[in-house]
Structure 1
């Protein structure tokens, strides 16, 4: 017996991946021109906003499994972009931070990245882009903190979206 499912291209994970790839197509040439992968740029961006993070916190911030993070860090360290320091209280924990060279690279890459964001806002529409951010924030918040919800207009809209996905 085969269960009936929505078409593969209408699955939420697939739609989110397709949207991510469409966005990253805009950023990748710029990142590659600066010798960076998507993952390396996420690490640099996350570390630029703090003094230091341990591996687990950096992995969470960048949505990278620690194994993937461990593969990216040696190149960044060899290039002099990040530094590792053992935690004084717990030698098993490692603190990661951007070096001065890493911060300079961030300052070099960031302006063009902001130009790409501005172009996306122009193409998508600033209001629509803000709606996308707001909806994604809402979805993330709901899924990270599931709570029984009373029947509401939002729940009814959710049911309508699910029905539309099955009907296609």
Structure 2
């Protein structure tokens, strides 16, 4: 019987877990989950620092129903504010509060050190190659399948 080919999706998940091992201690010290950190980081990087919930879900790779719970907990902690614009009550907008910005500012240096640690361990060339390959995988279009 032929051996199955290695699973790309499993290898990506295992690599993600290995990478997250660098960040989890700092997240835990700040009582922030991985999903909460992604939301905070994305809101800090957004041009207007305000996004609609569907945009945030897409950028953070969090399913919309799960994002609702993440946002509720972040709002309860005073880190984000959610509101519906008066002009369109169907939309839900999210922005960081000053407390959320302060948390990001307090955490970002250590998070960057961990990125540098990973890059140093892999080596700059392998790191660039890895990031380039991951970008290519993200751009694959399933509609172009033979």
Per the normalisation by structure 1, the TM-score is 0.80
TM-fit CA distance, 1:109: 0.5
Per-residue displacement from partner, 1:114-157 (whole Å, max 9, x unpaired)?
0001111110111101100001101111236x4379xxxxxxxx
Structure 2 segments unaligned to the other structure (5+ residues): none
Q: Give yes or no for the alignment of 1:41 onto 2:15.
A: no
Instruction: Trace 1:106-117 onto structure 2 (pairs within 5 A).
Output: 106-117=104-115
Q: Which has the higher contact order (CA 8 A, sep 6+)?
A: 1
Give the count of matched residue pairs. Answer: 144
- 2:144: which partner in 1? 147
Q: CA RMSD in A?
A: 1.8
1:88 pairs with one of 72, 86, 89: 86
Listed as ranges, the matches of 1:23-102 within 5 Å are: 23-50=19-46, 51-102=49-100
Instruction: Tell me the TM-score normalized by structure 2.
Output: 0.92
The secondary structure found in structure 2 opposite 1:53 is: strand
Considering only CA atoms, is the larger Rg found in Structure 1 or Structure 2? Answer: 1
Cα separation, partners in 2 of 1:61 and 1:5, compared to 1, 3 Å: farther
What is residue 118 of structure 1 aligned with on the other side?
Answer: 116
1:158 alignment partner in structure 2: none
Structure 1 gap ranges (5+): 150-168
Partner residue, 2:15: 19
The SS at the match of 2:109 is helix
